[in-house]
Amino acid sequence: MKSTATAPASIAFIKYWGKKDEKLRLPETSSISINLDKCLTHTTVEFSPNYKQDTFEILGNQTTEEEKERVYKHLNRIRALKRSSFYAKVVSQNTFPKGSGIASSGSGFAALTVAASSSLGLKLSEKELSILARLGSGSACRSVPGGFVQWKEGNTSNESYAYSMYPPGYWEIVDILAIVSDKVKKTSSTIGHALATKTSIFHKPRVEEVRKLISHIKTAIRNKDLTLAGEILEKDCIYMHSVMMTSKPALFYWSGKTMDVIHKVHALRANKIPAFFTIDAGPNVHIITEAKYTSQVVSELKKIPGIKDIIINKTCRGAYLTNKHLF
């Protein structure tokens, strides 16, 4: 059967960086994120006795052998659950640039997990889908539930999954994504996670700090307190990038343009507009603010030379099945 799923990328307020179990992708800490309604991956999967091998294609993009292998490994996990020997055809499409620090592997593996398990007729709960997605790409587990999401770190595979703390409409915040580069990042996050735990002197202190920040940001989200949430999410972004920059080899994901956007965010705040930045494993900057400030933030961003695109995201539902098949 052919199945198609759509899944959103997420932006973390408290980041996932470093694993306590590489193979099971168990994170060192819990993380907190929102799903992004304009950064989606659509994936169609068909398992069939007619296919002689697995195939994977991303429409409009090149796929590397490494990416293909990672997808086929994930298909093996899902096939094993059904004891199926059928090969699959997988076709994906992203609504945003791949590999530029917007978690395309997160939305990608969430969509793949939901579409592939449906194609094989597996009936999995949201928790089971989140666990399965995590094995493909850690942050993918957060793209399965909707809205404001917590990934509980857990100590075993069955304990490490994401759930929705609040539905998408709970708090009218937006993520204004300033794209300063759409080039694929040089060091993948899989390599970065391992470097963090093994080489950065700031990794351990950050892990200890994150345990406190998690409970503070949950309070801020519950109370819809943007000033508090913003302060915490910026702090953890800087902590995570300090870990990256002090890894060996050092990972510098920011560019000069990234700094230009950060300075603009500071200027906005000086003008009483509550806007806060966070950045994943790439140079692009996510600005978190309340929906009512969107036009002011966007018009200020447009004044920065070299911004390639601005994507305005609201929080949205998690991964879901649709009948808009890609083949």
Q: Kindly identify the residues of this chain, within the stretch 182-201, that bind ligand PMV according to CB under 6 A.
A: 189-190, 193
Nearest distance from residue 14's CB to ligand PMV, in Å?
8
Q: CB 183 → ligand PMV: shortest distance, Å? A: 17
Q: Side chain identity at 265, as an amino acid letter?
A: V
Q: Of the two residues 29 and 119, which places its CB atom closer to ligand PMV in the complex?
A: 29
Q: What are phi and psi of 126, to 5 degrees?
A: -60, -40
φ/ψ of residue 251, rounded to 5: -110, 110
Q: Coil, strand or helix: which one is 197?
A: helix
Question: How many residues bind ligand PMV, per CB under 6 A?
Answer: 16
196, 221, 281, 288: residue in contact with ligand PMV (rule CB under 6 A): 281
Q: Is 139 in the site for ligand PMV (CB under 6 A)?
A: yes
Contact 180, 189 (CB under 8 A): no
Name the burial class of residue 104, with classes exposed (0-12), middle (13-18) and buried (19+) by CB atoms within 10 angstroms of its CB. buried
Which amino acid appears at position 235 of this protein?
Answer: K
Q: Is 302 left (phi over 0), alpha (psi -120 to 50) or beta?
A: alpha
* 138 forms part of the interface with ligand PMV (CB under 6 A): yes
Both structure tokens of 41: 């991956």
| CB-nearer residue toward ligand PMV: 103 or 233 | 103
Q: Which is nearer to ligand PMV, 176 or 281 (CB)?
A: 281
Which of 71-79, 82-90, 110-118, 131-139 is the region at the interface with ligand PMV (rule: CB under 6 A)? Answer: 131-139
Residues recorded for the chain: 327
The 4-33 contact track toward ligand PMV, x by CB under 6 A, reads --------x--xxx-------------x--
Question: Closest CB to ligand PMV among 6 and 189?
Answer: 189
Q: Which amino acid is at 274?
A: P
Tell me whether the omega of the peptide bond preceding residue 283 falls within 30 degrees of 0, making it cis.
no
Interface contacts to ligand PMV, rule CB under 6 A: 12, 15-17, 31, 103, 105-106, 137-139, 189-190, 193, 280-281
